[in-house]
Amino acid sequence: MTRRGRILLKTLVWGACLVPLALLAWRAWTGDLTANPIDFVTDTLGRWGMRMLLASLALTPLRLVLGIGWPLILRRLLGLFAFFYVSLHFLVWVVLDHFFAWAQMGADIVKRPYITVGVSALALLVLLAATSTSGMVKRLGARAWRRLHRIVYVAAVLGVLHFMWLAKVGRIEPYVYAAILAVLLGVRLAGAVRAFRVRRRGTRAGVTSESSSDNRPPRRSIVARTEIMGGPDMAPDHRTKGADAPLGLPRPPALGAVPGGARTHPRNPGRPSRARFVQGR
């Protein structure tokens, strides 16, 4: 995708992500926020924050399953909009629902589990949003940054739990979000296991090749190989004067030797050795 295409796509997605907020503002302007406006606004902002968070998490499984990688350029944008809507969800709870009653809010966070997990998810999203810039990637390092941003899955699980515990009985939307998150986590886990097996197989192959090359004996000369196979340096010296053969028997005479000390040809005993003939000449 070209640079102009990326800019156009991000602009369209940016505008689409602002549509729910614009509709909510329009309903507030027209007085169409139901009988419980605070609960309606809080619930709407929280639902859209959860949807955008799941959308940002779905981009990597989309690449793993279908091989479509270009939507990954929208991952940070969707994640930041998820943080934006969740932050508005929290601000409505603080300002309009509790009117900055910090003591009461603290007691609710401690006593009510769904508020505890919701605030915990928001804290994780704050950390992720603060470290989402390119400068933080360079400062932390790519590997450390990726490890840090894996906590987005923890934030998503906490958000789903918050929604499930807060929802009324009979409402199936939180369970739909839970099922979607389970599928996304399953795809990511399968991809991680596959990548781990590939790396492990490559590591084993590298270790095997290195060990085989290290254990390979050095190349030796013909003389050295002869000595290792039972040459004169490994076996007892047959030419040593007075040396006996095994079992105490006298050693046989050397090949081509006669009792008088003269040497004959090894193949024709009646023919004098060439060495003796040359010496006689």
Question: What residue segments make up the domains of the chain, in order of their start?
Answer: 3-198
> How far is the C-alpha of 218 from the C-alpha of 257, rounded, in Å?
39
- pLDDT value of residue 168: 75
Whole-number pLDDT of residue 233: 40
Is 139 strand, coil or helix? helix
Mention every residue, 6+ apart, whose C-beta is less than 8 A from residue 13: 74, 77, 78
82 to 52, 149, 153, 174, 216: CA distances (angstroms):
5, 14, 13, 16, 59
d(CA 125, CA 53): 10
pLDDT (tens digit, 0 to 9) for every residue of the chain, 281 residues total?
Answer: 788 888 999 999 999 999 999 999 999 999 888 889 999 999 999 999 999 999 999 998 888 888 888 889 999 999 999 999 999 999 999 999 888 889 999 998 999 999 999 999 999 999 999 999 889 999 999 999 999 999 999 999 999 999 999 877 778 999 999 999 999 999 988 888 888 888 877 776 665 555 555 555 555 544 444 443 444 444 444 444 444 444 444 555 554 455 555 555 555 555 555 544 444 44
Task: Quote the DSSP letter at residue 97.
Answer: I
Distance between CA atoms of residues 178 and 156, nearest Å: 9
Instruction: Read off the pTM.
Output: 0.70
pLDDT of amino acid 231: 43
Q: Where do runs of H (alpha helix) occur along the chain?
A: 3-30, 37-57, 59-66, 75-92, 102-111, 113-130, 134-140, 142-148, 152-166, 173-215, 222-228, 274-280
For residue 253, the Cα-to-chain-centroid distance in whole angstroms is: 74
Burial pattern 237-246, b for ≥16 Cβ within 10 A else e, equals: eeeeeeeeee
Q: 155, 125 in Cβ contact below 8 A?
A: yes
Interatomic CA distance for residues 23 and 45, integer angstroms: 11
Per-residue model confidence (pLDDT) at position 242: 43
